[in-house]
Amino acid sequence: MLSALLSPVVAMLWYLQQILRAHQISYLGTLPSPAELSGERLMEYKKQYTVLNTSRFLQQWNPLIVIFIFTIFTSARAFDYGEALTKSLLYFESQRSGRLPYNQRVTWRDHSGLTDGLEQGVDLVGGYYDAGDHVKFGLPMAFTVTMLSWSVIEYGEQIAAGGEYEHALEAIKWGTDYFIKAHTSPNVLWAEVGDGDTDHYCWQRPEDMTTSRHAYKIDENNPGSDLAGETAAAMAAASVVFRKANPHYSHLLLYHAQQLFGFGEKFRGKYDDSVGAVKSYYPSVSGYKDELLWAALWLYKATDKVDYLNYVIDKAHDFGGIDWAITEFSWDVKYAGVQIIASKLLMEGKQKEHNYILEQYRSKAEHYLCSCLNKNNESNVDRTPGGLLYIRQWNNIQYVSTAAFLLTVYSDYLKNSNQKLNCPGGVMEPQEILSFSKSQVDYILGSNPMDMSYLVGFGSKYPKRVHHRAASIESYRENKGFIGCTQGYDNWYGRLEPNPNVIVGALVGGPDSRDNFEDQRGNYMQTEACTYNTAPLVGIFAKLHQLECENLAHNPPLISSY
């Protein structure tokens, strides 16, 4: 009966404890030599377990004890999700462009990009660098802010319980403040600052930048419905976040979001057709229709105006919302996110006249989810031997973090509506879906064949040579001497030593299809981190932290004395 009430790990420990008690073996003392235990593997546990008064039983049954201990340490690894939450939000301060505030916590960074937009006569100071370079790309920055906002909308209470609510709002506002600046008139949005080609020729700290800071825009003659749509989605979602904390700011964000949606809808086109400089870095492969649906849904959530919902219903077929069965969700492809939110509307039952279309959205949403869960008859998402979802070679972990987020929120939607997920391969309970999502997060945090945390600064083993200019060069605050474009490559890029600055909370690209990872600065496919990698994890860390706290409250660990 007792084991049914305890977690598997605690139950195993309890049984082992009873066995040892029965044979007068205590946890106090020093571990016998490997020869006495006849098993070299126990050396790994020398620091965790010590044994006194060995008896004939120990000599006979020590393999069983080894199995118990091995199971405990390999199958039930515990992580501090509260620490992961704190560190994930700290990362966004490392990516800030512009004049840093007085309460900046990442002290190895300093002001940068203070003349952005000057050449074009606009103020474009601020925002985020997307990854390890110094270009401000509008599309991935907006998606980052949307995901941060969605995390707060779904898990704001849990983030607050973890003591990180204000930091989460600061991370969102740093992005939305920039979007307000970049939206200089109803039909003009500045899409990019900096040039990827010239930027990649240099290895410099952002404080020393000598590369081009040319700015690019979309307007009526050079449309970009995808960028306008994603930015509208980000500002609409953020307006929900700030509705109570800062009503005036919330209204301002909503004003810009509605204008941007109108701009993107009226002047249709792909932004990478208008801004050629972005094609090699963030091309809009999926087109703009998914972003317009995405923006309309977020505006409906922010305003409750049925016009936006009608747009999502009316355009469902023409824009691919109920046609595309997608197995990825990213800064480029938003269909799965659209389908998940539309499914929630169906579950809430508020717009029953649209159930026929919403059911079709839900069908495509569940195709995505079942693919991730390996429960489709066909087209399941591949996995590494260690169990990580695997989409593609370059920065694969971005797809893992977004999948984990969608699985987590959908498990909540199902639980709250007392429903289950019906996949071709079987019915999934909400808890099973959450458990799989947790397995992906745990893999990221170190439960993987490499025993590596891919969240930088978390755990004892994590990437030390992240492909990141600012992190890899001595801090400007430590050495204000100018470091030139090629000087950084000559003196810093090729160093074998770890980066001098730890970019805490960055989520790197992660392992390959065989769970292998090379911690080399030049291995940018695996060691470069991006803002949109970390953003979806913020809410999940908060939820898992809350669940761990509740579990401890209901199942305190057994403490024995001898």
pTM of the predicted model, to two decimals? 0.87
Check pLDDT > 70 for residue 140: yes
Integer Rg of the chain from CA: 25
Q: What is d(CA 337, CA 360) in angstroms, rounded to the nearest whole number?
A: 14
Check pLDDT > 50 for residue 183: yes
Mean pLDDT over each residue of the chain, to the nearest integer: 88
Q: Which tens digits make up the pLDDT trace of 329-347?
A: 999 999 999 999 999 999 9
**Is residue 467 annotated as part of the catalytic site, yes or no?**
yes
What amino acid is encoded at 308 in this protein? Y
Among 32-46, 211-225, 438-452, the range scoring the smallest mean pLDDT is 32-46
Q: Which tens digits make up the pLDDT trace of 425-477?
A: 999 999 999 999 999 999 999 999 999 999 999 999 999 999 999 999 999 99
Q: Looking at residue 43, what is its pLDDT? A: 34
For residues 292 and 225, the answer to whether their CB atoms sit within 8 Å is yes
Question: Quick one: pLDDT band at residue 297, thresholds 50, 70, 90?
Answer: very high
What amino acid is encoded at 428 in this protein? M
Averaged over 109-113, what is the pLDDT?
97
Q: Which tens digits make up the pLDDT trace of 96-106?
A: 999 999 999 99
399: number of Cβ within 10 Å:
22
Q: Which two tokens stand for residue 423?
A: 């996949």
The position carrying tokens 């082992």 is: 16
Q: Residues with Cβ < 8 Å from 22, sequence gap 6 or more?
A: none
Q: Looking at residue 324, what is its pLDDT? A: 87
Q: Which of 478, 481, 444 is nearest to 459 (CA)?
A: 444
Check pLDDT > 90 for residue 383: yes
For residues 147 and 405, the answer to whether their CB atoms sit within 8 Å is yes
Check pLDDT > 70 for residue 24: no
Q: Looking at residue 556, what is its pLDDT? A: 65
Q: Looking at residue 264, what is its pLDDT? A: 98
Q: What is d(CA 85, CA 536) in angstroms, rounded to the nearest whole number?
A: 11
One-character DSSP codes across 350-367: S-GGGHHHHHHHHHHHHH
The position carrying tokens 């669940």 is: 547
Question: Quick one: pLDDT band at residue 227, thresholds 50, 70, 90?
Answer: very high
Candidates 134, 183, 367, 467; catalytic one: 467
Q: Which tens digits make up the pLDDT trace of 67-98?
A: 343 333 334 578 999 999 999 999 999 999 99
Q: What is d(CA 88, CA 80) in angstroms, rounded to the nearest whole number?
A: 12
- If you count them, how many residues does the chain have? 562
Q: Any idea which fold 81-549 has? A: Glycosyltransferase (1.50.10)
Q: Looking at residue 557, what is its pLDDT? A: 52
Q: Where are the domains of the chain?
A: 81-549
The position carrying tokens 């009503």 is: 247
Q: Looking at residue 350, what is its pLDDT? A: 84
209 CB burial (10 A radius; 0-12, 13-18, 19+): buried
Averaged over 271-284, what is the pLDDT?
95
